[in-house]
């Protein structure tokens, strides 16, 4: 029906007149202006089953609808001789849109279905379009029955409320040895020892310092006077000092020359002090020159101790000397005698030979 050509109003009217002429009946005058609205939708309506001939209208003249139905039936009979002429039931004028809608909305699949006469579903059409090697089901009846999904059984309340959880179990931590505690103890002990040692060293140093300070204070309060050499000492018998001889062996220890010489026409043994009368240097005895020579400023002294050169202002000094009880000569450095003062004439300043 979709491929059936639509008839124009003129054709429909011509067909109706022809039918009337064949039947011998005078065709009544029709109203062409009322036909288009009723005829156009009737052409789109599905083919009605052959029914009883159309009933004439109440006035004895067929209506426009009847004429159109009759003309349509004749035309169909001309196209398909096997079809029986039937008076199609005129379609109501109020259903044109409803009748035309299915024809316009049908897709190409409907066309193929009309050609084959078998209704196909979309899956079959798509399968057939993909290729002949994988033909899909031809019809809904040939399509395999889809497995019906079974309704899920409701889970028990306990399972929904408390779903089982898989708790990840961590591997046990390796047990650390108690080395840290021992190390801490060792460290603490080391610190205590170090601090104790430092404090001990500090206190020891303080004690030593205090002791040294005490010893210095005691030395200051009680000086060692015994460090001074004795003022009196024995040098030996007179025979140990020949005439004209200057003994120098007591210089380093006592600072004394023992001389057996002549002074003012008298042979004497006397003790000269080894201190230059200039500035206090120690002169040297020059045996070859028979004089005392001061190395500092060149002062010169004779064997008896009288100065004769250099800056020395006066003669050397003498120590007291005497013959001790044992016959030895004893020198006393606590007492001195000066020539410029006439003290060399004192018998304590010499020993006669």
Positions that interact with ligand FES (CB under 6 A): 276, 278-279, 281, 294, 296-297, 299, 310-312
Q: Tokens at residue 289, please?
A: 């020159």
Shortest reach from residue 329's CB to ligand FES, in Å: 27
Shortest reach from residue 297's CB to ligand FES, in Å: 3
Shortest reach from residue 275's CB to ligand FES, in Å: 9
What are the two backbone dihedrals, phi and then psi, of residue 274, each rounded to the nearest 5 degrees?
-85, 50
Shortest reach from residue 198's CB to ligand FES, in Å: 58
Contact 121, 143 (CB under 8 A): yes
Q: For residues 41 and 310, which CB has a smaller minimum distance to ligand FES in the complex?
A: 310
Contact 15, 80 (CB under 8 A): no
Closest CA to 271 of 335, 179, 183: 335
What span, in angstroms and rounded, lies between the C-alpha atoms of 9 and 27? 16
Q: For residues 93 and 296, which CB has a smaller minimum distance to ligand FES in the complex?
A: 296
Shortest reach from residue 312's CB to ligand FES, in Å: 5
Shortest reach from residue 283's CB to ligand FES, in Å: 6
78 burial level (CB within 10 Å; 0-12, 13-18, 19+): exposed
The residues pairing with 336 across neighbouring beta strands, listed in sequence order, are 319
Closest CA to 331 of 245, 230, 240: 230
Q: For residues 63 and 277, which CB has a smaller minimum distance to ligand FES in the complex?
A: 277
Closest CA to 347 of 276, 275, 263: 263
Shortest reach from residue 296's CB to ligand FES, in Å: 4
Q: For residues 260 and 299, which CB has a smaller minimum distance to ligand FES in the complex?
A: 299
Give the end-to-end CA distance of the chain in Å, rounded to a whole number: 192
Q: For residues 71 and 316, which CB has a smaller minimum distance to ligand FES in the complex?
A: 316
350 burial level (CB within 10 Å; 0-12, 13-18, 19+): buried
What are the two backbone dihedrals, phi and then psi, of residue 158, each rounded to the nearest 5 degrees?
-65, -40
Q: What residue ranges in 2-77 does DSSP mark as E strands?
A: none
DSSP 78: H
What span, in angstroms and rounded, lies between the C-alpha atoms of 234 and 324? 8
**351: helix, coil or strand?**
strand
Q: For residues 136 and 300, which CB has a smaller minimum distance to ligand FES in the complex?
A: 300
Q: For residues 274 and 349, which CB has a smaller minimum distance to ligand FES in the complex?
A: 274
Q: For residues 41 and 283, which CB has a smaller minimum distance to ligand FES in the complex?
A: 283
What span, in angstroms and rounded, lies between the C-alpha atoms of 338 and 164? 132
Q: For residues 281 and 353, which CB has a smaller minimum distance to ligand FES in the complex?
A: 281
What span, in angstroms and rounded, lies between the C-alpha atoms of 198 and 139? 107
What span, in angstroms and rounded, lies between the C-alpha atoms of 231 and 320? 10
Shortest reach from residue 340's CB to ligand FES, in Å: 17
Shortest reach from residue 317's CB to ligand FES, in Å: 14
């Amino acid at each position: 029906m979709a491929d059936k050509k639509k008839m124009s109003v003129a054709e429909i009217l011509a067909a109706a007149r022809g039918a009337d002429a064949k039947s011998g009946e005078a065709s009544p005058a029709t109203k062409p202006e009322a036909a288009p609205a009723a005829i156009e939708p009737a052409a789109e309506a599905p083919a009605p089953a052959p029914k009883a001939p159309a009933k004439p209208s109440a006035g004895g003249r067929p209506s426009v609808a009847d004429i159109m139905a009759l003309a349509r039936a004749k035309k169909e009979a001309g196209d398909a001789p096997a079809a029986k002429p039937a008076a199609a039931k005129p379609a109501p004028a109020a259903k044109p849109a409803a009748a035309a809608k299915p024809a316009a909305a049908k897709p190409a699949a409907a066309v193929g279905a009309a050609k084959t006469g078998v209704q196909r579903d979309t899956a079959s059409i798509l399968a057939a379009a993909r290729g002949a090697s994988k033909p899909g089901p031809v019809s809904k009846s040939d399509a395999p029955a889809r497995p019906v999904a079974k309704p899920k059984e409701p889970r028990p309340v306990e399972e929904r409320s408390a779903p089982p959880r898989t708790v990840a179990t961590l591997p046990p931590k390796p047990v650390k040895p108690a080395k840290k505690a021992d190390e801490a103890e060792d460290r603490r002990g080391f610190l205590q020892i170090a601090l104790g040692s430092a404090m001990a060293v500090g206190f020891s140093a303080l004690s030593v310092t205090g002791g040294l300070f005490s010893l210095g204070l005691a030395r200051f309060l009680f000086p060692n006077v015994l460090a001074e050499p004795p003022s009196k000492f024995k040098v030996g018998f007179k025979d140990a000092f020949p005439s004209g001889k200057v003994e120098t062996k007591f210089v380093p220890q006592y600072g004394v020359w023992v001389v057996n010489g002549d002074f003012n026409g008298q042979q004497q043994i006397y003790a000269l002090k080894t201190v230059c009368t200039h500035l206090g240097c120690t002169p040297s005895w020059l045996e070859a020159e028979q004089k005392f020579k001061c190395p500092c400023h060149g002062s010169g002294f004779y064997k008896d101790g009288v100065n004769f050169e250099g800056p020395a202002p006066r003669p050397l000094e003498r120590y007291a000397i005497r013959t001790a009880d044992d016959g030895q000569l004893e020198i006393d450095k606590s007492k001195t005698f000066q020539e410029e003062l006439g003290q060399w004439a004192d018998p304590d300043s010499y020993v006669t030979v």
